[in-house]
A and B are shown apart, each in its own frame.
Chain A
């Protein structure tokens, strides 16, 4: 679906389903230089299991118009505006990597919008190394390769994809290549500069789930400890041997974890 948000057309994947005001909603937020397809399986599942599922393309990403937003706070506010434009009072917010910070910030700034929060492959702060940030600033393909290799566990880089016939790292690098110039740099810098994690986490009042990969080189589980400490009642699921690309490496595991917190009624 497409709808205007802040004067620009915004896109969200809904698995081809019309929104139903009577159903609970789940909003998925992708990571840096990604788009809605990062959550394809999980969002499609909820769309057919008693929920409105909306996997957004953030501004400047995928099918959404406009320039990419430069701060996590602005992205969090945009997400709240998007939900308002879509007529969704509240939703379970599910974010991956940069998207997890966006979901967190939306929940902190607009508590009425978040009935649950799932932070996948998250950390706060989320510093980005000079090599990666510099390569992204130059729009160098080396930045995509760093993200692609560090973003997958060593096991996943050998293959064995749950999705038959798909070469995970090949598909991921093509997706990153689709991002417009400078989008990756803007996203990574927004992550790098984000300093409000612990403060925002302390403001969250809804149920929270952390989904982490034990072999995540981008956001190792230890880097989520500040956030976890700020939300002591949160649930945490750690997938052994799994890297940063959790939805791709463990699609069913992530889905099962989400079902618990999103609380979709049986269809």
Chain B
């Protein structure tokens, strides 16, 4: 008998997690827009509540449409399972809240989405969780920042917006050497461009609002567990390895050898914090994921064409994209991101802030808004919008200058995008 094969990425993008509807044979995933589920009898009800039987009992905890999405992203990422959340921020919070409490510490890259930076720098300290931010390229800094109470290392696969490429094998090695897990935000890369678990990461999350959806019509997050981290052997995670009074003394690692984290995250985090995803949102994200491979190919192709154009323009001071040899992570990107470095990047236009403002206001095809990863091309000025809470030093550390412009390249005809950018660049130099 020949070596059997797993289903491949493009097939899983369309099918993973779903069986045709058994009642009517619907091929599409039905939207189970329901709050609750009728129990067969009192024994089944009690068994569901006590996790003696699998199934759905209340849509804050789980929902059949969401479950398809959760399985699909877990399949694409090579994980053991996933939890759909109200947003990417909710997914990040759920991960942290599941692993630690007051008195704990996180080591994080300083190149983060502004909202993530805010949660770690300002909000979580109020709840007793502190963070040390480090240069993601400085491996000694990662190692040196780990304390006795550190419970997590965290970074973005591609830092926002400077596209620092996280050296996942190296940072994961540091984390594992300290018996700690590595969590990554995979929003910019999606599993099509990178599968962080294959590189050593332990947990990941997505803002599914972005490339996974592509259509820009929903807000959602996905938290995925790689299932390889040994919480028992670590000895650092009492939330997973000691009896939990909130569920009849359940010891989650005893209960589930490979999915203890997800078990607690669902049974505590979703139950108590309640940041669940709407099933209609899950349906919309599923529609996006069905075409993820095709869209990511086109995103990367268009981005390469746009960057080639910008590289030739006198009005462009600099471009930050890891596929360019000028990017400090070029060599690492070639190793970790062979399919491409995504469709979000920054560049600086000559003339500083006034020229940047004129450039953005002169664009016609690009939409000026606070999002990335849409099928439509997008533009924003990070220093005054997504990262406005950061001071100048933090901005500089994240690679953001006053004239930095962030583009998210969509799926339009690349010639139309280039013509739009060309006209806006001309206008910017007349300020």
CA distance A219 to B230 in the complex (A): 31
- Interface of chain B residues 329 through 358 with chain A (CB within 8 A): none
Q: Which of these, B15, B67, B258, contacts A161 with CB under 8 Å? A: B67
> Are A166 and B249 in touch, CB under 8 angstroms?
no
Tell me whether A164 and B70 are in contact (CB under 8 A).
Answer: yes
Which of A35-43, A68-76, A79-87 is the contact stretch? A35-43
Is A163 close to B, CB under 8 A?
A: yes
Return chain B residues, CB-CB under 8 Å to A164.
Answer: 54-56, 61-64, 66-67, 70, 266
Residue of A49, A131, A170, A171 contacting most chain B CB atoms (<10 Å): A170
Report whether A159 and B16 are in contact in the complex, using a CB–CB cutoff of 8 Å: yes
Q: Answer whether residue A8 sits at the interface, using C-beta atoms and an 8 A cutoff.
A: no
Within 8 A of A (CB), among B252-277: 254-259, 262, 266
Please tell me which one of the listed residues B4, B18, B84, B258 contacts residue A159 in the complex, with CB atoms under 8 A apart: B18
Please tell me which one of the listed residues A40, A146, A150, A165 contacts residue B70 in the complex, with CB atoms under 8 A apart. A165
B259 contacts which chain A residues (CB < 8 A)? Answer: 166, 171
The 0/1 profile, CB within 8 Å of A marked 1, for residues 1-27 of chain B is 101111100000001111100000000
Within 8 A of B (CB), among A153-212: 155, 157-167, 169-171, 174-175, 177-178
A210 to B248, CA, bound (A): 33
- Alpha-carbon distance A161/B249, docked complex (angstroms): 26
Q: A48-B52, A178-B257 are in contact. Are A155 and B71 (CB under 8 A)?
A: no
| Cβ–Cβ < 8 Å partners of B56 in chain A | 164
Distance in angstroms between the alpha carbons of A211 and B79 in the assembled complex: 29
- Interface residue ranges of A14-56 to B (CB < 8 Å): 16, 35, 37, 40-41, 44-45, 48-49
Residues from chain A with a CB closer than 8 A to the CB of B62 are 164-165
Most chain B beta-carbon contacts within 10 A, residue among A62, A159, A167, A175: A167
B83 at interface, CB cutoff 8 A: yes
- In this assembly, does B228 line the interface, its C-beta being within 8 Å of a C-beta of chain A? yes
- CB contacts (< 8 Å) of A16 on chain B: these are 243, 248-251, 254
Residues of A close to B47: CB separation below 8 A: 45, 48
Decide if A138 is an interface residue (CB 8 Å cutoff).
no
Q: How large is the interface on B (under 10, 10 to 19, 20 to 34, 35 or more residues)?
A: 35 or more
Partner of A171, one of B1, B19, B80: B80
- Secondary structure at chain A's binding surface: helix, strand, loop or mixed? helix
* Contact between B6 and A165, CB atoms less than 8 A apart: no
Distance of A168 from chain B, by nearest CB (Å)? 8
Q: Does any Cβ of A come within 8 Å of B196's Cβ?
A: no
Asked if A159 contacts B256 (CB within 8 A), the reply is no
The reply to whether B248 and A145 form a contact with Cβ atoms under 8 Å apart is: no
Complex CA distance for A170 and B61, rounded to whole angstroms: 21
Give chain B nearest CB distance to A153 CB in angstroms: 11
On chain B, the residues within 8 Å of A150 by CB distance are: 4
CB-contact partner of B6 in A48, A145, A159, A166, under 8 A: A145
On whether A129 and B1 interact (CB within 8 A), knowing A45-B52, A165-B82, A170-B78, the answer reads yes
The reply on A252 being an interface residue by CB < 8 A is yes
Chain B nearest Cβ from A162, distance in angstroms: 4
Q: Using known A-B contacts A48-B50, A159-B72, A167-B80, determine if residue A174 contacts B5 with beta carbons closer than 8 Å.
A: no
Q: Check A160 against B80 for contact (C-beta < 8 Å).
A: no
Q: In the complex, how many angstroms separate the beta carbon of A18 from the nearest chain B beta carbon? A: 11
Given contacts A165-B62, A166-B74, could you give 6 more A-B pairs where the C-beta distance is less than 8 Å? A48-B52, A157-B7, A158-B17, A165-B84, A167-B71, A174-B227
Give me 26 A-to-B residue pairs in the complex whose CB atoms sit less than 8 angstroms apart, sorted by A's number. Answer: A16-B243, A40-B256, A41-B52, A44-B51, A62-B257, A145-B3, A145-B6, A158-B7, A159-B16, A159-B72, A160-B17, A163-B81, A164-B54, A164-B55, A164-B61, A164-B63, A164-B67, A165-B62, A165-B67, A165-B84, A166-B71, A166-B74, A166-B259, A170-B74, A170-B80, A251-B53
Question: B-contacting residues of A (Cβ < 8 Å)?
Answer: 13, 16, 35, 37, 40-41, 44-45, 48-49, 62, 129, 131, 142, 145-146, 149-150, 155, 157-167, 169-171, 174-175, 177-178, 251-252, 255
Interface residues of B (CB under 8 A from A): 1, 3-7, 15-19, 47, 50-56, 61-64, 66-68, 70-72, 74-75, 78-84, 226-228, 230, 243, 248-251, 254-259, 262, 266
